[in-house]
Amino acid sequence: MVEIDMKMKMQRVDEIIEGYKGEEGVLIQLLLDIQSEFNWIPHGVIARISERLRIPKSHIYRIASFYKAMSLNPVGRHIIQVCLGTACQVRGAPKILDRVEENLKIKEGGTTPDMRFSLKRVNCLGCCAMGPVVVVDGNYHGKITPAMVEDILGKYK
C-alpha cells in the first residue's frame, strides 16, 4: 500500500517537473507546487528533483529550509495555531492548548497519525483583544474557552 502510494506520488512529482520543462530558474516555484500538492516536501521527492533537474540536493534543501511556506516535515491538512502570547496566556490560553492536545491526542508541534491536523503554538497573532485566540487554516476564533474547543475542531474532522 505504502509502495503504491509512493509510486503515485512520484508520478505526480514527475508531472509537475514536466510542467516546467525547458524553463530556467523554476526551482522555487516547483517546490511551492510540491508543497501545495503534498502539504510538505518529502525527502524522496527532493532526491527525484535533484536527479531529474541535475541540481545538488544540498541546494534544494537550502531553498526548502529558507522559505517559511515550505516544510520538510509532514504537515496535516488542517493547521491549528494556538496563541500563547502574553495577552492570551493571562486569559487562559494554556488551558486551551491542553484541551486541543487532549482532543487530538498529540502534543504541540505534532501531527495526528491520519495527517488531518498539525498543532502549533505561536506567540501573538496581533489580535490580543480577541484572546485567547485559536487559528485553524487561517480562520481566527477569538475569546475561546476550553469548552468551545471540541466544537471548533469538530468542524474540521
Binding site for ligand FES (CB under 6 A): 83, 85-88, 124-125, 127-128, 131, 133
- For the bound state, the minimum distance from the C-beta of residue 155 to ligand FES, rounded and expressed in Å, comes to 21
Q: Which helix (H) or strand (E) holds 135?
A: strand 134-136
- Give 41 or 125: the residue with its C-beta nearer to ligand FES: 125
Angle between helices 27-38 and 43-53 (to 10 degrees): 150
Distance CA 58, CA 40 (A): 17
- Give 45 or 84: the residue with its C-beta nearer to ligand FES: 84
- For the bound state, the minimum distance from the C-beta of residue 96 to ligand FES, rounded and expressed in Å, comes to 11
- For the bound state, the minimum distance from the C-beta of residue 90 to ligand FES, rounded and expressed in Å, comes to 9
User: CB atoms < 10 A from the CB of 126, how many?
Assistant: 8
Q: What are phi and psi of 116, to 5 degrees?
A: -85, -40
Beta strands per DSSP E along 62-110? 78-83
- For the bound state, the minimum distance from the C-beta of residue 125 to ligand FES, rounded and expressed in Å, comes to 4
Q: Tell me which residue has its CB nearest to ligand FES.
A: 85
